[in-house]
Amino acid sequence: MTNRRNLVIGMAALPLATLVAGALGPVLAQTATALDGDTLTTSDGDVVIHPVSHASLLLGWKDQVIYVDPVGGAAPYEGLPKPTAILITHGHGDHFDVPTLEAIAGSAPIVTSQEVFDKLPEALKANATALANGDKGTLVDTPVTAIPAHNTTADRMQYHPVGVGNGYLLTFGDKIVYVAGDTEPTPEMLALKNIAVAFLPMNLPYTMTVEQAAEAVNTFKPAVVYPYHYKGSDVEAFKTAVGPDTEVRLREWYPPGA
């Protein structure tokens, strides 16, 4: 039985490295035990933003390390803090991989869609909770809202149907981070307000075109946007098309060999 609407999940304490001050500060030097990346200053401590590859990333805040769509086995996560929670947007293999979860999850709680929940082995399912589009929950001090993530163009609907995948809003202090998952611009995305950081996909035929992504950003105006899930797309053209209200952060989501 899944638990919806009132999600409260405990996380084990895990110390993070001292973070650099600043709204989105300089990149930290990497060590074997610390989480490195850009920093987002909030009213309740800094969030570290650590890209991994394609659609996989880590968000570190206080004693939490949230893994988003971890795939690729254990190797990409060697030397990184272990997850205190895991978010999974949907069931495609570049977002959801059971062997990776079995290798890295330990006892970390997993928040995901019903589609993914139903595919989890029993050992992982015991720590998992399914959220439907619109459901709200809390990961200790981190409010989470699942919002629709799906295609809107008729000939792409086969890839991400309505009601299956989630994007996530995570609230850290006074700042909201939006991880879009695989989606085109939806009414819910375009209606977003006060987003500090957004992660938006752009690659065909599965998600948005560069033009769709830029138009969406220029509509809901996040303070900072990271293109991700963009293999084969012209992110420089995206950066040029985004208006002055949003800073575009281009980072290395496709390390050599990825």
Q: What is the pLDDT of residues 193-244, one digit of tens each?
A: 999 999 999 998 889 999 999 999 999 999 999 999 999 999 999 999 999 9
Q: In what order do the strands lie in the sheet with 64-68?
A: 24-25, 38-42, 45-53, 56-61, 64-68, 85-87, 110-112, 128-130
Which amino acid, 104? I
In angstroms, the CA 242 to CA 244 distance is 7
Please state the pTM of the whole predicted model. 0.87
In angstroms, the CA 214 to CA 234 distance is 12
Q: What is the pLDDT of residues 95-153, one digit of tens each?
A: 999 999 999 999 999 999 999 999 999 999 999 999 999 999 887 678 999 999 998 88
CB 177 within 8 A of CB 197: yes
The stretch 166-176 carries a mean pLDDT of: 97
How far apart, in Å, do the first and last CA atoms of the chain sit? 37
